[in-house]
Each structure stands twice: as structure tokens, then as C-alpha cells.
């Protein structure tokens, strides 16, 4: 079977899974397990697609459908970049669905028929977005993705905030997509084709002839992808929408959907826009947008008390790192292919890592909510004792996102910093960006220490005992946390595929191969101009940590043979209830938070002063829904008034009815 | 090849020995000096060793069950010793081929992370206040360290510690590195947890902060880690910012480096004696100013001074 055949079969299986889970929607567990089964089968096929692409090279294109009216083809193909995203999507898809099976039992009053099918449709549309080679089908899948995720965001219909967040998400993303559509149409009108290669020709001509229009089109594309990725200020929908969705869906958003903004960015700037001074200029914009986003997003995250809201702001911050890496890469490509490549690799690798640890963190937050029933860090606490596996996975992922070596988040951040500092010899302000990024990675650390301390450490605020979450919810977390560790210890392994994906987009740019850029492993050795400019070899450092830690424990800490005794925490002799002496998570870092207050302005949008009658016209509830409901209700109560429960009255009704029927019959005959 | 590995292992053992055994001695000298400035007699120089020996034999009190909490002090010390492997001491750093200045910066943060997590784990309010302060100090000090180390990387064109060291030895003092060195010294005071920046421990105020639950061997290891860390950072300061004169003979260079580190720590002790404790917001404000001033070093480095 051809690669595309496998792809088709895999995606069809996912679609079939959506249908099956919808049909089984009234049975909670069956619906969940069915979707997992279909996702696993389809995911295995997609894994085969990925393996085959990376071993045998990209698949040839195939025309799926011809739309004669507008002379457009729906073109499917799998190149290295598609394969990379397919791999992430199938991995995260299976794990989040598996987590959701048990997790959804929390929502007793909501049917899973409005969850699993949509989740599967979301994954199908993501697979579609990353495997099309023409703008039209890209747009169709993109829209499908927005719609499916919109319904996941408003899963809890009765929650007013959830509905608001969903609406905001939908409107903002639709607006951005409309802009992208306009940009695409401008290009289409030049070449009469939606194929990416044709758009590339159109761009080439446009950049030569009408640079202002070309930049406007690029801007529209940038806006759409930055909005989806959650870069501030366009991404302000994100911290509202993410917490509203169920945690399994949030993990899928954070692990896969947000990343499609990065995918679009790479496609547009490396494939559709030819390498030109425009690439350089827009690289600058992307990098600066990234730094702004990571600065504001992460500092705002520090103030949050809601676990999922905190993590959502970190999505914004982490996307900033990716934009910084990719933007630097685009900016430097023309000046030095080596540094350009390193920047791009760093950004894309960070995206890969972020998929892993952010999904793990959202799942962990879901597990906390599942058992403790609250997402407020000041209310939960001390869960680590009862949920050790969840705590360990969340701890690993939290340290990974904070960039603690030797985990994976550090490897990609290290690449971003090292590239920026090395490029700083030629472009000094890049060093400043690197220093901002280093500072912000500490803020990330602060905020995740707050998360770990608030959720898993300290004492429980209530006496209610909790249990560890079921195995089906643990397996995804453990798998993700382990992958974080593995990617951290052997970063060159995933980087090989990232490198193939990036260089596959720029075959003619003559980018250096991986061994020239980062050495031949197992650690990373950056060589720009001279050998060993920067080095990060996780294995020796991890080995040293383990050996010296063991040495410190067995040779020093246990040297005196001290007897071990468990004692309660000491509150200086005061006999206080632990709740009275509790130091809540909201009290952490108050002076620091105070120094950065007002960094995330809250804008209250007031409705425009429309005339009253116009508002009434739009208020469908007022003149259509509410009156209809009232009338039906009144009718129903009228009918119910006739049912008084007295046999004689019913007899009377029967007699009256018979008389009426006879009268009507007589009337008809006569 | 095997000879190379043998030399590396030898160097690693030496660095660990310096960080482990010399650190309490230097702390003893600092205590003696502090006592002299207070017009006291003070404890003997070997007092830190005696303290450690006594603490190691005491009961191991644990406020939190679990293996990770039990091993936290050992991991903290282990991470500081790993840091020692990334720092050059008279010659190339034994793990220099595995980590550059960015790695060094982040490995240095591991011990602080472990200390904070230990503080938060034990549900006491004093520990939590101390942990929270510790984080804020890290937040304000680390950018200063980042700027100063990046200045070295910009000058030498390499991020490896040895690259910066070699460049310094070859090119002699420069304006930018001098400013960076001063900023690094100011940050060292807080890294070592000395007055006026000991807000996280603040014995008279929050009773040791993150260390309040620690006693016996656990306290010994945390203290030991702190002393080792201040020594390692002092060595890093003199190696990167004051590596002259360099003889090229390893033992002589090592002895000279250790002597210079002693001078640096003596200065730290003097600053410690003559200053009162700052509040946490004052500390953060102070280091914000230091960080922005150290950007001047970056500017000088860019224009090649």
C-alpha cells in the first residue's frame, strides 16, 4: 500500500471512530473505549506513514478531488514536516483520548456524545491541515479544526464563562482566518491555482512588482497563525478558552492544535514565501512578537491561581520561545545559513518538547481536578501523598517546562540561547532577547514551583481522603513524562527528524547537515565558525548528578548512621490547625508580582451604542425563543390542567369527545 | 584516549574534593574574620567541620514521608558537586566538554530548586515564606549572572567556560569584563546567602526559612551544599574574570586560584559584617539596578572594549 493509501486509511479510521463514538454516545465507557480503539488503529497506520516517510522520503502528491468551478485541486502529500506533525498528533491523540475515558465520568450531566466525536474530528482535521499541499483544502481543514475545537470549548453549556470564552475564541479565530482567506485570494487571482508551489510563484512576482501588497498578504498570514498559536496580543482568547474545555481536550489543544500556528508559520515563510529580504524582515517581526509574548504571557501566568489558567498563560509564553527561535532563524538565514538553521531547529524542537510536557501538565491538572474537585491552587494541596504517580509526572513535566537540565525543555532552550548569543556577535540586540528569555525561564520555574507546591505539597486543607487516579489516566501521563526525560537525555534523536523537516522545506538553500551544526552526538556540540562553540551533553551531566547524589546520600548523609524519625512540621511550638497556618499559593512571590502589575491590561469591551430597535432585532431570544418557549409552556400547563385524576371528569371528556367526533362526521357527510 | 579519560576522572575527583573539603575551611576562616571584626575571639577555623560531624550523627527527623524528600539534601549537595565539575579550577573543567556557561547557570539553579521544593513540601508557613523569598532572590540574581557570563561569551566568541578563560588569559583585562566581574561579585553575595541578602534564611525573622524543618544530617548536607556553592562561585569569578597571572603549570595555577577565591570570600565576609539585612523588595530593587548597570558591560563588549 502506498504511503498516501495508509494515510487515507488511518484518517478514515479516525473518522469512523468519530461516528462509532457518536453512535455509542449514550454509553459513557463504550463511547470512550471505542474512540481509543479507533485512534490506536488509525494512529498505528499514521505511524507507519511517518516511518515510511522518514526512511523512504516524502510521498509524491496525489490529487484527491478536482473542483472544476474554481479550477482547484485538493492535493494531498506527506513531506518531512507533515510527518513530524503527524507523529506528534497521533501520539498525543491516543494519550489524551485514553485519559478522557475515565476523566469524562466527572461530567455526570453532560453526554460524552458531544465530546469524543468532536475530539476525533479535531484530530482528523489536524491531520488534514498538515498533509495538504494546496491552500483551499488547507483552509477547509483549518476551519473544521476551529469548529470542532469551538464545540469542545463550550462543552459545559451551562457555564456562562465557558460560553463567553468559546464565543471569543470563535470570533477572534474566524476574523484571523478571514484575513488569511483574503490573502490567499489575492495570490490566487494572480496564478489561478491554490497549490502551494503556484502561490510561491505568485509571491515571487508580487514581491518584485508590488512589495506593499506582498507584505500585506504576509501580514495576514502571520496574523492568522499567530492568533492560532496564541501569540499576544492576538492570543488573548487562549487563557479564557483553554480552561473552559475538559482537560483531555485542553491537553489536545496544547499538544497539537496550538502547534499548527507554528506549522503554518513554517509552511508560509519557508515554502510559500521565497527566501528574500522579506523573510529577513518578517523574521524580525516573528522574533519580537515571540519575545513580547513570552515576557507578558509568563509574567501574567505567575499571578494565576486557577491551575489551567496558569498553564494556559504558559502556552502563550512557550509559544513565544518557539517564535523567538523560528524568527531568529528566518532573520539569520541569509546572513549565515548555519545560525539560521540553528534558530529554526531550536524553535521547532522547542515546539516538539512543548507538545510533550504541556500535554502532560494539562493531564496532571485534569487529574487534580478529577480527584480534588477544584482547580484553585489555594484550595487544593497536599495531594502528592495520595497521588504519588501523578505528582511525579507533573513534577517531571514542570521541571521540563522550567528548563531544568537534563530534561527536554532545557535542550531546546539551550539551543535558543546559544544561537542568540553566538549570533549576537553580528546582531547585538539578539543577546538582549536571549537574556530576556533566560530571565523568563526562571519566572516559568517560579510559577511551576508554585504549582507543585500548591497542588501536591504542604498539607491538605480538607480531611477528605483522595485516591490516585485510575490506571487509564496514569498511563498517558507516565508515557509523556518518560518521553520528556528521553528527549532530554538524547536530544539528537528527535533533532534528526526536526532537521529533516526543516531542511526538506528549503532544498535549494544549501543548509548544513546536522552533524556539521550540532555534532554527531550523543550530546549537542554547536560549531559556528569554530568547533565547540557551545556544548550540552546531557548524559555525562545526568550521570554526574546521579553518581554524586548517591555518593552524598550513602557516603555523607548516612555516614553517622543516624536513626530516622518521622515528625510533624514544626510551627514554633504553636498548637495551630494546619489550615490556620497555611501559606496559600496566592501569597507566593507577592513583592515580585507587585513589581510587574499591570503588565497584562484588562480591556473591558463595551457594546457599541446601537439603536434600541436594532439591538432588539438581534436579540432573537427576546422576540422568538422566549415567546415560543412561553407559549409552549402555557399550552402544556393548559393541557395538564385538564388532567385532574378524577375518573368522572375523564368520562365526561370521552363523552364530549365522542359527541364532537360524531358532530364532525355528520358535518362532513352532510 | 584512555589516558585522557583517566586525567578527566582525576580532575573530577580533585574538583569534588576542593568543593567538598575546602568549603567548610573557607567558611571557618570567614567566621573567624567576622568575629575579629566584631571584636570577638570566635570559633576555631575548623569549627564548620566539627559542626558537620556533630550534625551527621544526630537523629534524621523527617517531616514528610517519601524517598524524594529523604534524598533531597543529598541531591542538593550532588547538584552543587556537579556544578563544581563544570567550573575550571586551575585548568580545564572536567565536565567542560559536556556543558557551557548556560548549562552551568542552570545546573547552579538545581540546588535552589531542590531547597525550595523541600521547604514547600513540609507544609510549615515559615518554610513556605522562605522558599518564596528564595525564588525571588533567584529571579533577581540569575539575570545578573546571565548578563555577565554572556559578556564573556560575546568577547571570546565561545560559550564554553574554557573558551572564555583562554580568551581572557590571551587578551588581558578589558573594560567590559571588568564591569561584568564587579556585577558578578555583587551577585555572589546573594548566591552565598550572606548579609545584606540573607532574606531567605533570615534566622532572626523566619528562623532559617527553607531550612526550618531540617536538622541532623539533613541540615548538615544543606549547609555543606551552601558553603560549597559559595566557594565554587568564588572560583568561577576569579577564573573567568581575574585569571591573571597564568603560569600554565597546573598546581601553581590551582593554588593561585584558591588563594584568589579566599580573598574574594574574605571580601564577601566583610560586606556581610558591615551591613544590615535588606527587605526582599529592596533586594529585588537593588539587583534590578545591578542588572541594568551590567548591561553597560554588554554595550562595551559590543563596541569591542
pLDDT digits (tens, 9 = 90+) for B131-161: 889 999 999 999 999 999 999 999 988 899 9
User: Which runs of E-coded beta strand occur in chain B?
Assistant: 60-62
Pick among A591, A594, A597 to test the B interface (most B CBs inside 10 A): A591
Residue A125: inside a domain: no
Question: Cβ neighbours of residue A367 under 8 Å, at least 6 residues apart?
Answer: A103, A247, A387, A390, A469, A473, A477
**Residue B42 CB coordination number (10 Å):** 16
Which of the four pLDDT bands, split at 50, 70 and 90, describes residue B1? Answer: low
8 Å CB contact of B142 and A442: yes
pLDDT category, A653, cuts 50, 70, 90?
Answer: confident
Phi and psi angles of residue A386, each rounded to the nearest 5 degrees, phi first: -95, -30
Residue A409 near residue A401, CB atoms below 8 Å: yes
Does residue A406 have a cis bond before it (omega within 30 degrees)? yes
What letter would DSSP give residue A646? -
Q: Which residue, chain included where needed, has cell 554524586?
A: A548
A76 inside domain = no
- CB pair distance less than 8 Å for B135 and A530: no
pLDDT digits (tens, 9 = 90+) for A371-421: 888 888 888 878 888 888 999 999 999 999 999 988 999 999 999 999 999
Confidence of residue A159 (pLDDT cuts 50, 70, 90): confident
Q: Which residues contact B117 (CB under 8 A, 6 or more apart)?
A: A449, A452, A453, A457, B72, B131
Q: Are A162 and A154 in contact (CB under 8 A)?
A: yes
pLDDT of A325 over the 90 cut: yes
In a domain, A300, yes or no: yes
For residues A321 and A350, the answer to whether their CB atoms sit within 8 Å is yes
Nearest CA in chain B to A415: B102
Which residues have a Cβ under 8 Å from the Cβ of A266 and sit 6 or more positions away?
A81, A326, A344, A348, A502, A505
Instruction: Please give, rounded to a whole number of angstroms, the shortest distance from the CA of B175 to a CA of chain A.
Output: 17
Q: How many domains does chain A have?
A: 1
The listed range with the strongest mean pLDDT (A195-199, A567-571, B209-213) is A195-199
pLDDT score of A400: 94
Show me where the domains of chain B are located.
Answer: 2-302
Asked whether the beta carbons of residue B117 and residue A452 sit closer than 8 angstroms, the reply is yes
Return all residues near B303 (Cβ < 8 A) that are at least 6 apart. none
How many Å lie between the alpha carbon of B229 and the closest alpha carbon of chain A? 15
Q: How far apart are CA B150 and CA B147, in angstroms?
A: 5
Among the partner residues A425, A443, A557, nearest to B73 by beta-carbon distance: A557
Cβ–Cβ under 8 Å, residues B60 and B69: no
pLDDT tens per residue, range B88-131: 998 889 988 888 999 999 999 999 999 999 988 887 788 888 88
Contact at 8 Å (CB) between A333 and A376? no
Q: Does any CB of chain B come closer than 8 Å to the CB of residue A453?
A: yes
Radius of gyration of chain B (CA): 19
Residue tagged 493509501 (cell numbers): A5
Distance between CA A365 and CA A387 in Å, rounded? 12
Query: How far apart, in Å, are the Cα atoms of B30 and each of A153, A317, B84?
Result: 60, 43, 21
Question: Where in the sequence is the domain holding A412, given as residue range(s)?
Answer: 292-552
Q: Which of B32, B77, B70, B80 is nearest to B52 (CA)?
A: B77
Given the C-alpha cell 498570514, which residue does it identify?
Answer: A221
Residues of B in contact with A548 (CB under 8 A): 16, 77-79, 81-82
Residue A592 DSSP code: H
Residue A628 lies in a domain: no
Q: Find residues 120-139 of chain A whose CB sits inside 8 Å of chain B.
A: none
Answer yes or no: do B117 and A453 touch at CB < 8 A.
yes
> Do the beta carbons of residue A420 and residue A342 sit within 8 Å?
no
Strands A524-528, A564-566: pairing kind: unpaired
Contact list, B298 vs chain A (CB under 8 Å): 428, 431-432
Quote the minimal CA–CA distance from A442 to chain B in Å.
6
A256-281 per-position pLDDT tens digit: 988 999 999 999 999 888 888 888 99
Classify strands A530-536 and A524-528 as parallel, antiparallel or unpaired.
Answer: antiparallel
Q: Work out the average pLDDT over B199-227.
A: 85
Taking an 8 Å cut-off on Cβ atoms, the answer to whether B65 and A410 are in contact is no
What is the secondary structure of A185-245 as a DSSP string?
HHHHHHHS--BHHHHHHHHHHHHHH-HHHHHHHHHHHHHHHHHHHT-TTGGGGHHHHHHHS
In a domain, A577, yes or no: no
Task: Tell me what pLDDT residue A413 has.
Answer: 94
The sign of the CA dihedral A85, A86, A90, A96 is positive
DSSP B209: G
Chain B residue with minimal CA distance to A542? Answer: B82
DSSP B235-289: HHHHHHH---S--S-HHHHHHHHHHHHHHHHHHHHHHHHH-PPPPHHHHHHHHHH
Asked whether residue A549 carries a pLDDT value surpassing 90, the answer given is yes
ipTM, 2 decimals? Answer: 0.94
Q: Distance (Å, rounded) from C-alpha B129 to C-alpha A583?
A: 8
Is A274 domain-assigned? no
Percent of chain B with pLDDT over 70: 100
Amino acid at each position: 500500500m502506498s504511503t498516501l493509501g495508509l494515510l487515507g486509511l488511518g484518517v478514515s479510521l479516525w473518522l469512523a471512530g468519530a461516528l462509532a463514538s457518536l453512535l455509542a454516545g449514550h454509553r459513557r465507557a463504550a463511547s470512550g473505549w471505542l474512540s481509543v480503539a479507533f485512534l490506536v488503529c488509525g494512529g498505528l497506520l499514521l505511524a507507519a506513514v511517518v516511518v515510511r516517510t522518514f526512511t523512504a522520503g516524502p510521498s509524491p502528491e496525489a490529487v484527491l478531488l478536482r473542483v472544476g468551478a474554481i479550477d482547484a485541486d485538493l492535493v494531498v502529500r506527506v513531506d518531512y514536516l507533515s510527518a513530524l506533525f503527524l507523529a506528534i498528533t497521533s501520539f498525543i491523540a491516543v494519550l489524551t483520548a485514553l485519559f478522557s475515558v475515565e476523566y469524562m465520568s466527572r461530567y455526570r450531566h453532560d453526554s460524552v456524545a458531544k465530546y469524543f466525536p468532536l475530539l476525533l474530528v479535531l484530530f482528523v482535521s489536524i491531520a488534514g491541515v498538515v498533509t495538504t499541499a494546496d491552500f483551499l483544502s488547507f483552509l477547509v481543514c483549518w476551519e473544521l479544526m476551529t469548529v470542532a475545537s469551538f464545540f469542545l470549548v463550550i462543552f459545559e453549556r451551562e457555564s456562562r464563562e465557558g460560553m463567553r470564552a468559546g464565543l471569543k475564541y470563535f470570533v477572534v479565530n474566524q476574523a484571523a482566518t478571514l484575513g488569511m482567506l483574503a490573502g490567499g485570494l489575492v495570490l490566487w487571482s494572480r496564478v489561478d491555482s491554490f497549490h502551494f508551489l503556484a502561490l510561491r510563484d505568485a509571491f515571487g512576482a508580487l514581491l518584485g512588482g508590488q512589495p506593499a501588497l506582498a507584505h500585506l498578504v504576509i501580514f495576514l498570514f502571520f496574523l492568522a497563525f499567530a492568533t492560532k498559536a496564541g501569540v499576544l496580543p492576538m492570543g488573548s482568547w487562549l487563557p479564557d478558552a483553554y480552561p473552559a474545555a475538559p482537560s483531555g481536550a485542553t491537553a489536545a489543544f496544547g499538544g497539537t492544535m496550538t502547534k499548527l500556528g507554528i506549522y503554518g508559520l513554517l509552511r508560509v515563510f519557508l515554502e510559500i514565501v521565497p527566501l528574500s529580504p522579506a523573510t529577513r524582515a518578517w523574521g524580525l517581526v516573528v522574533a519580537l512578537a515571540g519575545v513580547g509574548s513570552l515576557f507578558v504571557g509568563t509574567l501574567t501566568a505567575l499571578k494565576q491561581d486557577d491551575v489551567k489558567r496558569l498553564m494556559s498563560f504558559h502556552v502563550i509564553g512557550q509559544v513565544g520561545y518557539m517564535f523567538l527561535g523560528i524568527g531568529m532563524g528566518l532573520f539569520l538565514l541569509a546572513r549565515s545559513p548555519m545560525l539560521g538553521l540553528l534558530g529554526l531547529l531550536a524553535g521547532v524542537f522547542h515546539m516538539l518538547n512543548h507538545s510533550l510536557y504541556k500535554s502532560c501538565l494539562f493531564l496532571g491538572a485534569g487529574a487534580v481536578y478529577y480527584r480534588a474537585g477544584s482547580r484553585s491552587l489555594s484550595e487544593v494541596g497536599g495531594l502528592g501523598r495520595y497521588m504519588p504517580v501523578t505528582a511525579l509526572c507533573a513534577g517531571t513535566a514542570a521541571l521540563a517546562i522550567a528548563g531544568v537540565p537534563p530534561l527536554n525543555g532545557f535542550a531546546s532552550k539551550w539551543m535558543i540561547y546559544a544561537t542568540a548569543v553566538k549570533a549576537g556577535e553580528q546582531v547585538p540586540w539578539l543577546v538582549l532577547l536571549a537574556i530576556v528569555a533566560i530571565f523568563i525561564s526562571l519566572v516559568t520555574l517560579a510559577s511551576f514551583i508554585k504549582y507543585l507546591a500548591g497542588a501536591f505539597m504542604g498539607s491538605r486543607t480538607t480531611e477528605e481522603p483522595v485516591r490516585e487516579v485510575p490506571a487509564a489516566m496514569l498511563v498517558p501521563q507516565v508515557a509523556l513524562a518518560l518521553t520528556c526525560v528521553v528527549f532530554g537525555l538524547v536530544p539528537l534523536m528527535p533533532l534528526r527528524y526536526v532537521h529533516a523537516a526543516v531542511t526538506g522545506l528549503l532544498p535549494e538553500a544549501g543548509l548544513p547537515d546536522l552533524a556539521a551544526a550540532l555534532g554527531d552526538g550523543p550530546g549537542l556540540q554547536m560549531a559556528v565558525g569554530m568547533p565547540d562553540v557551545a556544548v550540552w551533553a546531557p548524559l555525562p551531566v545526568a550521570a554526574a548528578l546521579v553518581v554524586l547524589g548517591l555518593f552524598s546520600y550513602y557516603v555523607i548523609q548516612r555516614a553517622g548512621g543516624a536513626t530516622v524519625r518521622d515528625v510533624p512540621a514544626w510551627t514554633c511550638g504553636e498548637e495551630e490547625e494546619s489550615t490556620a497556618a497555611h501559606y496559600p499559593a496566592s501569597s507566593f512571590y507577592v513583592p515580585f508580582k507587585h513589581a510587574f502589575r499591570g503588565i497584562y491590561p484588562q480591556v473591558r469591551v463595551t457594546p457599541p451604542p446601537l439603536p434600541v430597535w436594532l439591538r432588539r432585532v438581534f436579540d432573537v431570544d427576546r422576540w422568538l425563543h422566549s415567546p415560543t418557549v412561553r407559549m409552549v409552556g402555557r399550552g402544556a400547563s393548559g393541557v395538564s390542567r385538564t388532567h385532574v385524576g378524577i375518573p368522572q371528569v375523564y368520562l365526561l371528556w370521552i363523552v364530549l369527545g365522542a359527541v364532537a367526533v360524531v358532530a364532525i362526521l355528520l358535518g362532513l357527510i352532510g | 584516549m584512555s589516558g585522557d579519560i583517566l586525567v578527566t576522572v582525576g580532575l573530577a575527583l580533585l574538583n569534588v574534593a576542593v568543593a567538598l573539603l575546602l568549603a567548610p575551611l573557607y567558611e571557618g576562616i570567614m567566621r573567624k574574620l567576622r568575629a575579629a571584626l566584631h571584636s570577638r575571639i570566635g570559633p576555631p577555623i575548623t569549627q564548620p567541620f566539627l559542626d558537620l560531624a556533630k550534625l551527621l550523627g544526630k537523629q534524621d527527623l523527617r517531616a514528610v514521608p517519601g524517598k524524594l524528600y529523604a534524598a533531597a539534601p543529598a541531591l542538593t549537595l550532588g547538584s552543587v558537586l556537579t556544578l563544581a565539575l563544570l567550573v575550571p579550577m586551575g585548568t580545564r573543567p572536567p565536565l567542560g566538554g559536556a556543558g557551557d556557561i548556560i548549562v552551568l547557570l542552570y545546573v547552579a539553579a538545581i540546588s535552589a530548586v531542590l531547597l525550595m521544593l523541600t521547604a514547600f513540601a513540609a507544609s510549615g508557613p515559615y518554610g513556605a515564606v522562605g522558599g518564596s523569598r528564595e525564588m525571588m532572590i533567584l529571579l533577581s540574581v540569575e539575570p545578573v549572572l546571565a548578563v555577565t557570563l554572556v559578556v564573556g561569551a560575546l568577547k571570546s566568541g565561545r560559550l564554553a567556560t574554557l573558551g572564555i578563560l583562554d580568551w581572557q588569559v590571551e587578551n588581558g583585562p578589558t573594560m567590559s569584563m571588568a564591569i561584568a566581574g564587579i556585577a558578578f561579585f555583587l551577585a555572589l553575595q546573594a548566591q552565598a546567602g550572606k548579609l545584606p541578602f540573607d532574606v531567605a534564611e533570615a534566622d532572626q525573622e523566619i528562623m532559617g526559612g527553607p531550612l526550618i524543618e531540617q536538622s541532623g544530617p539533613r541540615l548538615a548536607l544543606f549547609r555543606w551544599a551552601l558553603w560549597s556553592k559559595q566557594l565554587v562561585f568564588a572560583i568561577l569569578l576569579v577564573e573567568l574574570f581575574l585569571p591573571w597571572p597564568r603560569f600554565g603549570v597546573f598546581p601553581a595555577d590551582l593554588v593561585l586560584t584558591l588563594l584568589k577565591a579566599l580573598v574574594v570570600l574574605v571580601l564577601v565576609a566583610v560586606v556581610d559584617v558591615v551591613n544590615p539585612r535588606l527587605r526582599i523588595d529592596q533586594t529585588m530593587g537593588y539587583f534590578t539596578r545591578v542588572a541594568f548597570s551590567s548591561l553597560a558591560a554588554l554595550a562595551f563588549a559590543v563596541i569591542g572594549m
